[in-house]
Amino acid sequence: MVKRQPMVAFLVLTFLLSWWPWALYVFGLMPVPIASFGPFLAALIVLAVSEGKAGIVGLLRRMTRWRVGAGWWLVALLLPVAMSAGATLLNIAIGAEVPTAAELGRWTAIPGSIAIVLLVPGFGGAWEEPGWRGYALLRLQARWSAFVSALLLGALITLWHLPLMVTGELHAAEMASIMTAVLVMNWLFNHVQGSVLVLMVCHAVNNAVSGRYFFPMFDGSDSARQPWLLAVTWGAMAVAVLVAGGPRDLSRSRPRQAEPGPHAEPLHHPHPLVSAQPKE
């Protein structure tokens, strides 16, 4: 079954391997209701069964691919900072209390938070990336355009976060941010030669900067407004990316990253890391 329907198997395993802490969390036996490394484990299992050693090695290579150009590393590091800082400035402009010097000075804790999220599976969302982009997105983009693939992946990732929303760990507005951020992150993925490592770093920076630095600066109505404004900044960036890159590849110069599959067709534009031309 896994070999015949690898994407279905990946999704089933992803939810099973991610949602098991939910029941334990309700009784106070787990700190969070979701295991963030579930998509990664699901990808490893499906690749081992369907493609063997070659499939696993391919994923691990994407997880260690760092030669993507200094400019794209700057994008990965600064993009989430810009989104959160933009939402914070909007909040202040609307009337939120200006953060104190002590609150702004907490930026020194950001590098440590990023390191923990990257190095310890289960802390933050960086370890989702090998499953969502390193496995699922490559196969979605082998059949559909980058825009349609982003909509499908965004819906799946939003549903995957459901336990966090039900238990109050995530604000409803953050679910809207996820949908728009997926398109932006996919744009980045398609421009960094499918490097999962770059996406893991970008995800870790976003968690550290947004959740652990900017969000705690506000309380009351200011705090409730911050996630909605963050959804606005990510949404604006998503529109800009879509207009600039186009819905087919989210890029005018590079075809989208994809893996060959049963529905794949030859590419019109050769690229060393893209081996299938999706259907629109």
pLDDT of 174: 85
Predicted TM-score (pTM) of this structure: 0.89
Q: How many other β-carbons are positioned within 10 Å of the β-carbon of residue 4? A: 9
Q: Is the pLDDT score of 167 beyond 50?
A: yes
Q: Is the pLDDT score of 273 beyond 60?
A: no
Across residues 73-88, what is the average pLDDT?
97
Integer Cα distance of 73 and 8 in angstroms: 33
Are 132 and 153 a contacting pair, CB within 8 Å?
yes
Across residues 263-272, what is the average pLDDT?
41
pLDDT one-digit tens code per residue, 22-31: 989 988 888 8
The backbone region for 52, taken as left when phi is positive above 0, alpha when psi lies in -120 to 50, beta otherwise, is: left
Per DSSP, 136 falls in state I
Integer Cα distance of 97 and 223 in angstroms: 10
Per DSSP, 128 falls in state G
Across residues 238-259, what is the average pLDDT?
94
Integer Cα distance of 280 and 247 in angstroms: 10
Task: Report the chain's mean pLDDT, rounded to a whole number.
Answer: 90
Across residues 133-157, what is the average pLDDT?
97
DSSP for 76-133, please give it.
Answer: HHHHHHHHHHHHHHHHHHHTPPPPPHHHHGGGGGHHHHHHHHHHSTTSSSGGGHHHII
pLDDT one-digit tens code per residue, 121-131: 777 789 999 99
